[in-house]
Amino acid sequence: MTIIDAPSGNSSEGAQARAERVTITKLKAMKGRGEKIAMITAYDYYTARLVDGAGIDAILVGDSLGQVMLGYDSTVPVTMDDMIHHTKAVSRGVRRALVIGDMPFMSYSLSPDEALRNAARFMQEAGARAVKLEGAAVAPTVERMVAAGIPVMGHLGLTPQSINVFGRHKIQGKTRESAARILRDAILLEEAGIFALVLETVPTPLAALISNRLSIPTIGIGAGAGCDGQIQVVHDVLGWDPNYTPKHAHKYANLGPILDNAFKEYISDVQAGRFPAQENSFPMDETLLEGLET
């Protein structure tokens, strides 16, 4: 497979600006200037190259890979080794974007020491420059990680690792009580030291309120335009599944039918003998084969 270099822009100045590493400090500065932050998930080297070359600010190697890459029905079965494997691949494809490793189910809940060791694996083995944790109960763990030099992103609202508690994916924070709890949890996590907060599937007014209350960036997924940035699953925005698009997503491409047609055409050409053609094959002096038939 031929690997095509990522876009380099029309000027050396533009290429240098794109090659400059995005840091947590830069993300915070973007919020201060009112600049929106663009994030996306990626799980492999080539996708990471493409989105990084396009100018994405940050890439989350999400435990959603359990569903879109590994075929599980939730994120719960994803292991640390799964996450390290995919984060390594993404890190190798990135020059500019901030790479964030999503700590999987139970990798930070059993003990503070184990949580710290697992977070360190993302940094040392996989090349991530930050990690993400779900929920507010992890605030003491966040403090310990930040003190150890590990940047942490928080995640509130619909937290997929708690799907067995929620029962199903549903909007969080619709009542006054639950909205107040999410706001309190957001403030608690900021005080613990997170550099940014993902708000997933919460009402737009609540997400906007939290965004205004916090000094750190909020990154929305199904949380409306009032957040400081947005994140989407790459497979959703590319339309890999022609039969499903989450309400919070927008298809910027419709690759599912294109890929389906391409595979069917390939199968048809192989079966009919149309592929490989002469231009796909390598010649030689056939006299060199004389006498080899028997």
List per-block mean pLDDT (blocks of 10 residues) for the chain, which spans 294 residues: 43 51 98 98 98 98 96 94 98 98 95 96 98 96 98 93 56 94 98 98 97 98 97 95 87 95 98 97 94 82
In this prediction, residue 171 carries a pLDDT of: 86
Full-model pTM: 0.90
Full 3-state SS string of 215-238? CCCEEEECCCCCCCEEEECHHHHH
Return the beta strands (E) in the chain as ranges. 37-41, 58-61, 98-102, 130-132, 152-157, 196-200, 218-221, 229-232
Which of 200, 286, 290, 293 is flagged as catalytic?
A: 200
- From CA 150, how far away is CA 183, in angstroms rounded? 24
- Pairing mode, strands 130-132 and 98-102: parallel
Count helices and strands (H / E) in the chain: 12, 8
The verdict on whether 200 is a catalytic residue reads: yes
Query: Contact 237/249 with Cβ under 8 angstroms?
Result: yes
According to the model, what pLDDT value does residue 6 have?
44
Phi, psi of 134 (to 5 degrees): -100, 145
Amino acid at 42: A
Q: Say whether the peptide bond before residue 112 is cis (omega within 30 degrees of 0).
A: no
